[in-house]
Structure 1
Amino acid sequence: MTALNQRTIVGARSVAIERTPQRLDPLGAQSAWLLVPLLGALALAYALFSTIRHAGQIRDLSMGIVAIVVLFLAVLVAAIRTHPGLAPFGRWSHFSIIGVTLTAACLFTASVWGSNERIQDDWGQIAVALLLVAMPLYRPIGEVAGSAIVAAVVLGCLAAAQHSLVIANSPLVYATVSATPILALAAGGAGYAWTITGETLRWREVAREGQQRLDGELRQAAERMIAQERMTALNVEAVPFLTALLRSGTVTGEDVTQARAIADRLRGTAVRAVARTWLEDTVDLALAPRLVQSTSVDAPGPAQAHVDDPDRLERVLTADQRAIVGALIATVAARPGLDPESLRVTASNPERPRFLLEAHVVEPRADLRRELLPLVSSLNSVAMQATMRLRAGDLAVRFTYPGGGSNDRGGRRR
């Protein structure tokens, strides 16, 4: 009886995943990362321009400089924290970045308080809005909307309280002018993320329906392949042996021993064919171009030697996780510096399944990181904890479910 029970499988597959592009389409969200530093750089450039333009209105220059420094820190943290190598981007990272940006905006307002002439050329609301545009790619829309509303209320109230403006109007108008860029750009980013999320979910439904239709055909094809392998094994060993036995007309002790050996080999081949797992097939296919296959019926396929998963813990992996794990194995197997015999995938701890992919790859470390880091980050985005370690050509990628534990936390940055 396997140590992996149904409750563990259901629990692992039921880990809640936020409905965000980063979670539902990790690689797609990674490709959009450059948008964050670009928007941050635009916010900084506008802040500098606006501060220079307000030169005659600034009452506290040191506070104005501090405001830009604080904004720079917010932009820097946003660019680093949203990097694909540090996925997923969490709730508190989002709140911290927007909170610091909002603080910078308040500091600028304080630096011109009492002498500010116009609200519309202040940079505070623009900086907050620009950073909020990209947030829906990483965080749920409702959460981003909450941040936008809080920022809009704070800056709107500050705008309404100013009495030095040259354009006389209702405080509500000043508040609206200050809040509109924040709400508008946040809504635009949320609308884009909503569309991407909806399309991703619809594509998944189509793919799931197609997979269900193909399951029966794939099962029949697998059964035919197993039957063909059995027939081939019989034709190669059993049939010649029985033919020779009929011709001799006698059964010797040596014949009995040979018959037992043939039966053991055929039985072992049948058991391996029936018990073959998705993980073994994935490694087998990935390494097929690199390894010379043995034609002997008693020689195990390459995956048998490269996968150690006696409890079949692979069953906890969802379709998304399998896709990423498969891509990870294929990418490692295709590296020119890989020693094919060194590739090994080990699964352990049935209560909280852990997986370890190990290989010896003689390649520049930077090249290997560039190829594998997006996939490791994608695993972090689909409710797993993944790390990567590179040491003297030895590659180790660990991935487990939250709470499963890892002795290499942070190794993905090494």
Structure 2
Amino acid sequence: MSAERAVQQRDPLAALVGRPTSYLAGLLLPVYAGGMTWINRESIVSAGFAIVALLFVAVASLALVLRSSPLRAPLTARAHVLVVGSALAAMVASDLSMWGTDPYVRDNWGGPAVGLFIVALAPYRPARELALSGVFSAFVAAFVALVRPDSFVVDAPVGVFVVVAATPILAMSLGAAAFVDVLVRSLDRWQDRANRVTTAMSGVRGDSIARSVQRDSVTVLNQEVVPFFAALLEGAVIDDDTRQRARAISNEVRALMVADVDRTWLESVIDQAGQRTRSASAAAGAAVKDEQRLAEHMSTDERTALRAFIVALHDEQTLGDAGAEIAITGADKRCDVVLRARLDSELNVLKGPLAPFLAVVRVMFGDLQVEHEHPELTLRFSYEQR
């Protein structure tokens, strides 16, 4: 799944931090609509349309709150259409409820409500979509004002009513689109600089890895090979037992070096995370089944999201003695991943300390499925080979 130019998909944690704003909008917009309906009650000629308008606002608010949840990330274009479409329907129904008796177009709450809903969607959708939604909604508001100028008490050209009806929507939606565009561009520039630094440091990192492998090899030699040769130099008799020990040491060193060469980044992450946990058995129980080394085909963002979740899983000290197990299998150009973990505590992983990390994983892997029946936690997702 290719990432869209949305803040939620460029910086999932930033969208998660802005989550309370979605709750606030979902709560206040129905209150605002209800209050303005009460204030303009004398102009309402159709109570049915007024009730329908409030119901549509409630639908838009409910869709915004539910679909912006990190448990359902990312918020899709379909959800965007549902929220804005419901808000537009509420605007039209509100205008119909005061058809022919509405004295001032500026008192109508439908247009500002649509604009506020689009602003609330800013962290989740690309700037282009926000702008298109705003322009289309402004056109609908302008058309409604254009076909009913006789109901307004102010003697002014029709164009004035059109501008007054469309301006709130255009101002808020285009402002939100401009903000998202600037923010995404800055995130892209930051990522480009980070990638250039990473590339420039690749040689230094390679030297560091080489020194680390060299130190590990020297450690093995000091523990096994050097004492063996020292015993031979001191005059030990070379017999069948000596030959068998030499063969065993050779096989052990060879197996260790082959394992280090074949180790993937995912195995290293699980080993390092397991070493930090209090339970040594949890680290030993961790396993990666990736015979085709498909973990190497993850993108940098996908690796970062999965690494963060694995580390959080261990740092929260919720992992049981059975540890965690990750199996990766390939089919065509996609790779299927199943992560299973046995948890000690009965925390709700969907709302507890692991929730932010699951939200990031869900953004990176759009088909994530989470199954949690205590004590078993299972994550299933897939990614394209790169």
Does the pair score TM above 0.5? yes
- Summarize deviations over 1:287-331 as a string: whole Å, max 9, x none: 11226879xxxxxx9579522222111112111111111110001
Aligned residues: 383
* 1:330-341 paired onto structure 2 within 5 Å: 330-341=311-322
Q: Which runs of 5+ in 1 are unaligned?
A: 1-14, 295-300, 404-414
Matched-pair contact (CA < 8 Å) for 1:136–1:193: yes
Equivalent in the alignment of 1:24: 10
Q: Give the alignment partner of residue 45 of structure 2, picking from 56, 59, 64.
A: 59
Q: Return closer, same or farther for 1:157/1:271 CA change in 2, 3 Å cut-off.
A: same
Give the ranges of 4+ consecutive aligned residues of structure 1 lying more than 4 Å apart after TM superposition: 291-294, 301-305
The 1-side partners of 2:319 and 2:27 are apart by: 40
Q: Give the alignment partner of residue 31 of structure 2, picking from 28, 32, 45.
A: 45
TM-score normalised by structure 1 residue count: 0.87
Q: Give the alignment partner of residue 181 of structure 2, picking from 189, 194, 198.
A: 194
The 2-side partners of 1:267 and 1:384 are apart by: 41
- Summarize deviations over 1:332-354 as a string: whole Å, max 9, x none: 11122322442222212253212
Q: CA deviation at 1:202?
A: 1.4
Equivalent in the alignment of 1:406: none
Instruction: Give secondary structure in 1 for the equivalent of 2:5.
Output: coil
Q: CA deviation at 1:88?
A: 0.9
Superposition CA RMSD, Å:
2.1
The 1-side partners of 2:45 and 2:23 are apart by: 31
Q: Give the alignment partner of residue 345 of structure 1, picking from 312, 318, 326.
A: 326
Amino acid in structure 2 at the alignment position of 1:64: A
Amino acid in structure 2 at the alignment position of 1:323: T
Q: Give the alignment partner of residue 252 of structure 2, picking from 265, 269, 286.
A: 265
Equivalent in the alignment of 2:277: 290
Q: Give the alignment partner of residue 146 of structure 2, picking from 160, 167, 174.
A: 160
- Summarize deviations over 1:352-377 as a string: whole Å, max 9, x none: 21222221112133266422232222
Equivalent in the alignment of 2:60: 74
Matched-pair contact (CA < 8 Å) for 1:30–1:84: yes
- Summarize deviations over 1:212-260 as a string: whole Å, max 9, x none: 1222111111111111111121121112112222333642111111111
Instruction: Give secondary structure in 1 for the equivalent of 2:308.
Output: helix
Matched-pair contact (CA < 8 Å) for 2:285–2:323: no
Matched-pair contact (CA < 8 Å) for 1:365–1:390: no
The 2-side partners of 1:303 and 1:171 are apart by: 76
Instruction: Give secondary structure in 1 for the equivalent of 2:338.
Output: strand
Matched-pair contact (CA < 8 Å) for 1:385–1:402: no
TM-score normalised by structure 2 residue count: 0.93
Matched-pair contact (CA < 8 Å) for 2:63–2:82: no
* 1:137-286 paired onto structure 2 within 5 Å: 137-162=123-148, 163-248=150-235, 250-286=237-273
The 2-side partners of 1:260 and 1:189 are apart by: 70
Matched-pair contact (CA < 8 Å) for 1:353–1:400: yes
Equivalent in the alignment of 1:109: 95
Matched-pair contact (CA < 8 Å) for 2:133–2:173: no
Q: Give the alignment partner of residue 292 of structure 2, picking from 288, 311, 319.
A: 311
Matched-pair contact (CA < 8 Å) for 2:341–2:376: yes
Amino acid in structure 1 at the alignment position of 2:160: V
The 1-side partners of 2:254 and 2:121 are apart by: 57
The 2-side partners of 1:86 and 1:318 are apart by: 22
Instruction: Give secondary structure in 1 for the equivalent of 2:170.
Output: helix
Deviates more, 1:199-208 or 1:322-331: 199-208
The 1-side partners of 2:204 and 2:384 are apart by: 35
Instruction: Give secondary structure in 2 for the equivalent of 1:136.
Output: coil
Q: How many percent of aligned residue pairs carry the same amino acid?
A: 29
Q: Return closer, same or farther for 1:201/1:321 CA change in 2, 3 Å cut-off.
A: same
The 2-side partners of 1:315 and 1:384 are apart by: 19
Amino acid in structure 2 at the alignment position of 1:194: D
Q: Return closer, same or farther for 1:348/1:225 CA change in 2, 3 Å cut-off.
A: same
Instruction: Give secondary structure in 1 for the equivalent of 2:41.
Output: coil
Instruction: Give secondary structure in 2 for the equivalent of 1:343.
Output: strand
Matched-pair contact (CA < 8 Å) for 2:264–2:296: no
Matched-pair contact (CA < 8 Å) for 1:333–1:340: no
Amino acid in structure 2 at the alignment position of 1:22: Q
Equivalent in the alignment of 1:382: 364
Matched-pair contact (CA < 8 Å) for 1:41–1:75: yes
The 1-side partners of 2:32 and 2:209 are apart by: 62
Deviates more, 1:272-281 or 1:80-89: 272-281
Instruction: Give secondary structure in 1 for the equivalent of 2:181.
Output: helix
Equivalent in the alignment of 2:70: 84
The 1-side partners of 2:318 and 2:265 are apart by: 25
